[in-house]
Structure 1
Amino acid sequence: MEFKARDYRAEEEVYSLPRVSVSSHPLCSSSSSSLTQDHVSIEFFDPLRGLSTEVLEPVEETAVAEKHHVGQPTSHLSSKEWTSFNKLLMQRFPVPKMISVSAFITWIFFPLQLSSKTIKGKKAIGEIPANKQSDELYDSEKSTEKGLKIVSQQEYISRLHELKDEITRSWRSDDRVTSLKLSIKVARLLMDTCVGQFYPTLFVLATDIMDMLGDMVWARIREKAEFADDGTKICNLSDDFEANSICFEAKETCNNWFRKIASIPELLPRIYLELAIFPCWRFLRNDFMGHLTRMVMMIRGIADPLASAYCRFFLIHCAQKLPEHDAGHLVTCISDQKIILRQIVSMKEIKCGNFLGDHKLLISLMEPTIEYTMRCIFKDPNQVADMIVRLELGKSPLELHGNVPWISIILHYLLKELPTEVVCSNALEILHLVDCSSDFSFDQCLNYRMLGLKLWEGIDQLNTVDAVVDEVIQAATKRKILDEYLKILDAYIDIILHYNMDRSLSSILSEIFERLCNEVVTEDELASLQSIVVKLVTHFDDMKYVFDLNYFVDILDVMHGSSRSIVCMHILTNATRNDRIDDPTTVKLLFDVAQSLHDNVDFSYMSDNQQAERLVARFIDKVDHGMELDRHLTFLVECRGAFSSMNDLKEILVHSSNLLAIRALKEKTNNLNFIKSCITFNEVTIPCIPSYTRQFILYLETAEVSLFGGLISHSDGLLDSAVCCLQNVYLVDGLKKSNEDGDGIVSLTRKLCSFMLLVPGNLEQGAMYIPKSILSLLDSQSWITPKQRVRVLCSLLSLSATFAQNELPYHAVHEEVIGNDRLFLGDAMYSQELGSLSTVILNNMIDAIPQEPSQVMRGKLALESCNSIASFLKVDDELSSVCSKLIETAVSCLGGNDKYLKSTINFVNKQSPISAGEERDAGKLSRGFGTKECPEIVKEGLRPTL
């Protein structure tokens, strides 16, 4: 067996593409020529250079803008807003599994007997006689039954859905009286406020039924206005129709509905049902806003504050459906709400209808109605000035009164909805307004906070910064509760930082630290403190300035738990934005921050540690000790000890150590001991990494560094460790890895073969010690598939053929590392060892191919082996016979038309010692394969023998 001689330099010159110097990138639009097709010039687009402004058309935004065009009815947008608000409303108040319901409501609501308990009354709920179920809607005398019942949440909601379905079925069967009666029954449920936190959910479900009834009534009356009884088209009503265009029969039907509803004895159901069909007033008269005012006045007759608040809520929703409406009803509603809240705040004991709960629960349940009302009041930007005057806030948006106390909860949502420019131009007046509004309906600190957030939105419009900040700090300092103090300051810290108010910042940090030392910090307080510290960290570009702030490090030390971890992550994120971190003090503080993060993160969960580990790794990568390489290596040693739970970080430490060694080599410090120290650091660190695959890569990388430093003995030891990793890489805890992982290891093994060209042969263990170890590894590991085995063998054959050349394609850069081409040049024993190794490789290759279970893969492996043989060895008669058998295998597996097969035959023919004049007749072959096996080859004139 003889290896082919190769001249790598000559091959490089032949196969290298010609190079031409250019002044600009060939794919640039300025230098590339246009492609012309059908007389249209199309400029070449390179996706790697980014998208042009013409390509980046806001398609999605355009579509959305077209979908919600300006001319779309306002009622549609209000409906979407109402639906969204209701979804949040149901999520806002957690509903208990069991609900307290008044006995009267239970009796009329559940016609069937329920497995319920009586809280106060002892009478069980019985089945309602069928003949009384229709009369119960108007029988108010039955409300005399005392006591509360317990029903399940699911039972209550299911019954509501049943009623909705019954209303729909009755309507479709033209039984509209039943639909109305059932709707009244649903509306009467809203009289029962003893359901407590379930009331908002009840309101959403019940008003959904009210809206459904209103839509059905509207559609019926409109149909009567547009069509006669016989189906003849009378007219086509436009969206802005007037009452005088409505026929008499439609008006009579509309009047009948309003009269039926007006006969309902209970006030609250009567209001809800009239509000549900309120838009139908348009069929009767053009000026119907007086009826809206009447409805607002009627709601004043509802004694229960929770029921009245949600009734106003529904009124505002129904008013939004009208094409045009004055905002006066909104102002009246919020004024009425203000009066009721003043009464609740002044009460020592709550006595509000049948509501069961304390003052704070009642106000919290009323809070969404206030929020929605304020949102509607300031919905139209053109009416802001008018609303401010109507609400008696001031004479205009620029002249607000700051000395008139408001109910805190109403003030909060007023601040939230006021335009930013109004708040910024009246900052001091609004601050005084907050100062004098301090009832328990809402935490006053949250109003200070809301003001701060609004001022930050319009920070460029704020003129009285110093005065506002001074007053806020004074107001915050008066708060005895730490959480309230921190929540206020958190909203203003951005303003203080924006205007570089160092004196105020120093005072705040001093006060915070003093309070932290004297109190036990709760989770809520930690959250506010975390927000303040994060804002400080993200404001400055250089962490050195942050660490220099008075008490900053002390405050950080007081923090603990997840808040401390989040702050540490922000610190590391901000610190690693710069190119390098070289200040010793900053490095020390950041190291402590990183260690604190490491100690607080639970690394048993991947989701928790990935970002933390990445930030610590970035920090280590950014640290630069300049020319003090020993100091940097000491820093890496400290990192290894401090971050022992971060397995991925250990890999980065090895890379950093290798970079230090390479840096020392490039700077020609001649510090061989330092390079040995780096390698020793790696030899200790690499075994701590749990992945054998990563260990192998790092051993190979460190071996390369050792070789560049001339440390051949270290390189040999590292390569031995790498081979040991290959032996263990697939078997972890006795379990076999997947084939995909195996293919990755094949790639690593090939990389090892490429690196072996740099390593001088071991004189004691033999020049081919490592290749033989790999060969033994293939024989000893049963998990290696035939495909993986053949591909590794092809790499080993390539390595052997390259070692046999008079000059290797590349060498180590260190002058003391002598390549095998010079070390063993002319050595007969070396050549014999290479030949012997190649024979073993070839035999193993031929034996492995038939073991491949996949027929197609078996054919490809045969061709791959055949190409390797013809590429690296001189094809004599013996090898020609081997190649013929391999091609026979490929033909049987792939067929004669396979392109890979044809190209392989052509290539092997060129390497064969048989010349063209010695070709034999294809029909009289004495060896190889005949025309029966591969007729296509003969047809195309290819030589079937080798």
Structure 2
Amino acid sequence: MFEEEDVKVISQQECLSKLQELKVEINRSWSADDRVTSLRLSIKVARLLTETSVIQFYPTLFILATDIMDLLGDLVWNRIKRKAEFTEEGGYICSLPDNFKESDICFDAKETCNNWFSKIGSVRELLPRIYLELAILPCWRFLDNHHEDVLQRLVMMTRGIADPLASAYCRLYLVQCAQRLPEHDTGFLITCINDIKLLLLRLTPAREAVDRDLSGTSEVLLTLIEPTIEYIMRCLFKDLREMEINDMLLALGMGINPSILSENCSCVSIILHYVLKELPIGFICCNALEILHLVECAKDSSFLQSLNFKLLGHRLCERVPEVSKVLLVVDKIFQVLSCYDNLDAYLMVADAYLDIILESHLGTSLNVILDGIFERVRDEKIGENELVILQSIFSKIVDHFANIEHILALNHFVDILDMMRGSSRNVISTQILSMAARNSQIRDPTVIEVLLEIAQALYDGLDFSNMRKDDYQHPSHVIARFVYMVDHGTQLESHLRFLAQCRGAFSSISELQEILVHSSNNLAIRAMRDGNSCNFIKSCLAFNEVTIPAIPSNLRQLNLYLETAEVALLGGFISHTDGLIDAAVNCLPNVDPVNGTRSTEDLSLLVSLLCKLCCMLVMVPGSLEHGVTRIPKHILSLIDSQSWILPRMKIRVLSSVVYLSAALSQNQLPYHAVSGQVISNYQLYFDVPSYHQELLSLSGVILQGLVNVVMQESSVAVRGKMALEASNCIASSFVMSDEALEACSKLMEIAKSCLSTGDKFLHSTLKVLYLKK
């Protein structure tokens, strides 16, 4: 390809290596003042651009070859510029400004410049001659202040290149080189586009003339030529004023004047595509209907017409309020949509104009689009690309409406959603549920039923075993939120059935299981308030007793067991209360930290729950068989055996047990259950000798425990405060026996050793103890 004529084929890698060698050799020859060799090698490089047999490689070849052309151009430019600024002997002539004129150039420099153009003009082959002249195109500035004729001549020369790929890329290089000139008009750019248009018309017959898409070769050619059109079009619009746009479109055969626009317009789809990309948005909005007609007229197969309709729709949606003749535009789009039997094209165009329809509040039009989608999804399988577009359409619809009832009332909305699958369906289902449960409660039974089906489909689409927690956390939260916001009003039985249905349907969402328990307890309280039957309340309690064990966190179980026990106690269901409290106590040994660590929030919650349990035990009848102190002893055993419970937290729990023991010692309890069916402990254990003995024994254990826990605190200041809190707890709860006084004395000694003598809390505690003696 480079030296011997019998060498016809070389690899692409060899070609690249050879080009790099040629570039080095051109530089070396130039440095050695061998301009002839540099030019000869440059011609050899330019000749490579006539080779288009491996068309996929041509863009790479073009980039590398034009890089060498640019190198030659820079070398020639610098040589002529130096001749204009210095004599052969090195004498200074002048320094050329950036905006120099032809009149600033000396005769020798002009002579050298003319000589270079003459050498290049003598190159026999057309394509190398054009590339070489383009490489030194900026050098025309040394000879002439006006370059329009030069550009037009070069454009005319490119018409002699027969190969469409080489012809298009040659025009691309022409436009690139023209950008280096200080100024030029757009006439040559329009000519370039029109010439490329003629090439495309030969490559792409009208859509009606073929029963199938382009041949493979033509399609590849179009793909390779497309970047040249894009670049030239960008240059054409770069400095174009809006008042010139109509004239430019007319020159390109795209006049939008109704008197000129006809079915026979010479518009080519792929060129129109890049015109639509570059047109100012204000111009597009003002001439929306006319441009729609223009897209409709482009019937060649160089570019999918649906893609141009799509692009125009997206451009119009940038400024929907500015779109002129909106109703006529929408009517035209429906005419276009009716011509598409293909689902992909129908969805693509419908999605592009959907914002216009939604913002113009054209509800009937929206239903027409959904009808059209439903018709087509019944006839063909929804592909991955169609799913993405459907997701976009449904997302826009859900975002637009504020009321879930309006969305579900749209024609075939739910039917089409049911036909979707995978992540697209999951995203829309999540969006629907999030929107429905955002602010207000959901009360309509029909809406609840539909949303439950959507939630079930979303849940079934989540692979909990193979997904990261972050990936399914949001959908799970949305489902849980939906269940929480459902309200069947006075139909409590219906609501409980709904909760039971959700428990079975969403068994892997622990957050939702907790919500089910809270909701069931709420139903039980409402039933008590309304005087409903005991059977329904028992059903709620039984529902919770089955649901809570499925929750993985023992700490959450503990919380829910106590909450449900409160409800049972409020209703006077003692057997349920005892069972729930026993279940809560059984959770205690299992709430130890995972991997040796537990968050501060979890520790705080555990302490609060233990204190809450102590408060409840004041009202809950004890067991005659096991004694009244069975559960408090469990609590003491727990905090004594768990080293991860901090001393400052243990002191809170021990204080609660102290208060519990003091309350149970009273002949009349400070508070009791509302229900008359709950027997208080002072009634249950009336005249039972062992009752008070049990409490005294428990109190002795607690007193020693308080002192021991205080001593475990490492912080001196905190230890002193804890000692004072324990002393106040003992003083306010017990008659100051010798045992109590001894414990208080130890605690006060600790406090005095840890706190300053002026501490106010210390002084107030000393006064309390003095008064108790």
**TM-score category by the smaller chain?**
0.7 to 0.9
Separation (CA, whole Å) in 1 of partners of 2:669 and 2:139: 92
User: 1:292 is matched with which residue?
Assistant: 151
Distance 1:860 1:269, change over 3 A: farther
* 1:614 aligned onto 2:477: yes
Q: Which residue pairs with 2:252 in the alignment?
A: 391
**CA distance in 2: counterparts of 1:172 and 1:701, whole angstroms:** 91
Cα deviation, residue 336, structure 1: 0.9
Partner of 1:408: 269
> Which sections of structure 1, spanning at least 5 residues, go unmatched?
1-103, 109-135, 137-141, 349-355, 850-856, 889-899, 917-946
Rounded Cα–Cα distance in structure 1 between residues aligned with 2:30 and 2:522: 81
Tell which deviates more after alignment, 437-446 or 826-835: 826-835
Match of 2:411 in 1: 550
Opposite residue 590 of structure 1, the aligned amino acid is: L
TM-score (norm 1): 0.67
Distance 1:208 1:800 in 2: 87
Which residue of 2 is the match for residue 656 of structure 1?
Answer: 519
User: 2:194: which partner in 1?
Assistant: 335
Matched, 1:588 2:446: no
State which of 637, 652, 673 in structure 2 corresponds to 1:776: 637
Per-residue CA deviation, residues 45-101 of structure 1 (Å, 9 max, x unaligned), is: xxxxxxxxxxxxxxxxxxxxxxxxxxxxxxxxxxxxxxxxxxxxxxxxxxxxxxxxx
Shift of 1:535: 3.9
Between 1:395-404 and 1:490-499, the stretch displaced more is 395-404
Tell me the distance in 2 between the aligned counterparts of 1:636 and 1:495: 41
Q: Is 2:747 aligned against 1:747?
A: no
**Residue 544 of structure 2 aligns with which residue?**
682
Equivalence map 1:219-618=2 (5 Å): 238-246=97-105, 267-268=126-127, 271-272=130-131, 274-345=133-204, 358-379=217-238, 380-382=240-242, 383-394=244-255, 400-401=261-262, 403-457=264-318, 459-462=320-323, 464-465=325-326, 467-501=328-362, 504-604=365-465, 605=467, 606-618=469-481
- 1:790 to 1:420, Cα distance in 2 relative to 1, 3 A: closer
Secondary structure at 2:381's aligned position in 1?
coil
Deviations 1:532-552 (A, max 9, x none): 444444443323233333333
**Conservation of the 8 A alpha-carbon contact between 2:721 and 2:751:** no
Q: CA deviation at 1:642?
A: 1.9
Aligned equivalents of 1:310 and 1:903: distance in 2? 94
1:612 Cα deviation from its structure 2 partner: 1.8
- Structure 1 residues 752, 543: closer, same or farther in 2, change over 3 A? closer
Could you tell me whether the CA contact under 8 Å between 2:117 and 2:133 is conserved in 1? yes
Question: 2:615–2:656: 8 Å Cα contact kept in structure 1?
Answer: no
Classify 1:601/1:797 alpha carbon distance in 2 versus 1 (closer, same or farther; 3 Å): closer
Instruction: Say which structure, 1 or 2, has more relative contact order (CA 8 Å, 6+ apart).
Output: 1
**What root-mean-square deviation, in Å, do the aligned CA atoms of Structure 1 and Structure 2 show?**
4.7
Structure 1: distance between partners of 2:336 and 2:342: 12
Amino acid at match of 2:703: T
Equivalent residues of 1:863, 1:904 under 8 A apart: no
Note if contact 1:707-1:812 (Cα within 8 Å) is conserved in structure 2: no
Give, in angstroms, the shift of residue 759 of structure 1.
0.8
Aligned to 1:146: 8
Asked if structure 1 preserves the Cα contact closer than 8 Å seen for 2:724 and 2:765, the reply is no
Q: How far off its partner does 1:365 sit?
A: 1.7
User: What's the offset of the Cα at 1:341?
Assistant: 0.8
Equivalent position to 2:488, from 606, 614, 625:
625
Distance 1:253 1:394 in 2: 46
Distance 1:915-1:467 versus aligned 2 partners, 3 A rule: closer
Q: Report the AA paired with residue 836 of structure 1.
A: G
Asked if the contact 2:629–2:695 (Cα under 8 Å) also holds between the matched residues in 1, the reply is no
Is the 1:797–1:872 contact (alpha carbons within 8 Å) kept by the matching residues of 2? Answer: no
How far residue 641 of structure 1 moved from its aligned partner, in angstroms, is 1.6
Matched length: 740
Cα distance change of structure 1 residues 414 and 717 upon mapping to structure 2, 3 Å threshold: same
Residue 338 of structure 1, CA deviation: 0.4
Cα distance change of structure 1 residues 387 and 791 upon mapping to structure 2, 3 Å threshold: same
In structure 2, distance between residues paired with 1:903 and 1:768? 39
Cα distance, 1:347–1:513 mapped onto 2, change above 3 Å: closer
Q: Deviations for 1:197-229, whole angstroms, at most 9, x for unmatched residues?
A: 454455456656666776677678767767899
- 1:709-748 correspondence runs (5 A): 709=571, 711=573, 714-730=576-592, 736-739=594-597, 741=598, 743-748=600-605
Q: Would you say the 8 A contact 2:367–2:411 is kept in 1?
A: yes
Matched, 1:796 2:653: yes
1:31-50 matches, within 5 Å, as: none
Residue 693 of structure 2: aligned partner: 829
| Matching residue within 504, 508, 515 for 1:641 | 504
Distance 1:679 1:717 in 2: 11
Partners of 1:661 and 1:675 within 8 A in 2: yes
Evaluate the alpha carbon distance shift between residue 914 and residue 709 of structure 1 in structure 2; reply closer, same or farther with a 3 A threshold.
closer
Query: Match for residue 72 of structure 1?
Result: none
Contact 1:393-1:401 at 8 Å conserved across structures: no
Moved more, 495-504 or 720-729: 495-504
1:108-119 aligned within 5 A? 108=2
Higher mean alpha-carbon deviation, 686-695 vs 863-872, is at 863-872
More helix by share: 2
Q: Call closer, same or farther: CA 1:506–1:882 in 2, change over 3 Å.
A: closer
Q: In the alignment, which residue of structure 2 is the partner of 1:39?
A: none
Give the whole-Å Cα distance in 1 for the aligned partners of 2:563 and 2:84.
Answer: 87
- Of all paired residues, the percent bearing the same amino acid is 48
* CA separation of 1:201 and 1:601: change in aligned 2, threshold 3 A: farther
State the one-letter code of the partner of 2:595. Answer: K
Q: Is 1:345–1:440's contact at 8 Å kept on the other side of the alignment? A: yes
Describe the shift of the 1:496–1:789 C-alpha distance in structure 2 as closer, same or farther (beyond 3 A): closer
Per-residue deviation at 1:182?
Answer: 7.7
**2: CA distance between counterparts of 1:620 and 1:843?**
49
Amino acid corresponding to residue 234 of structure 2 in structure 1: R
Change beyond 3 A, Cα 1:668–1:260: farther
Q: What code does the residue aligned with 1:625 have? A: H
Is contact 2:85–2:92 with CA below 8 Å preserved after alignment? yes
Shift in alpha-carbon separation, 1:408–1:836, aligned structure 2, 3 A: same
**Aligned residue type for 1:796:** V
Structure 2 counterpart of 1:697? 559
CA contact (8 A) 1:188 1:268 kept: yes
The letter of the residue matching 2:295 is V
How is 1:59-98 mapped onto 2 (pairs within 5 angstroms)?
A: none
Asked if structure 2 preserves the Cα contact closer than 8 Å seen for 1:624 and 1:632, the reply is: yes
The alpha-carbon deviation at position 410 of structure 1 amounts to 1.5
Deviates more, 1:614-623 or 1:244-253: 244-253
Amino acid at match of 1:404: C
- The answer to whether the 8 Å contact 2:102/2:144 transfers is yes
1:84 match: none
Cα deviation, 1:546-584, whole Å, max 9, x if unaligned, reads: 333333333333333333333323332433345232222
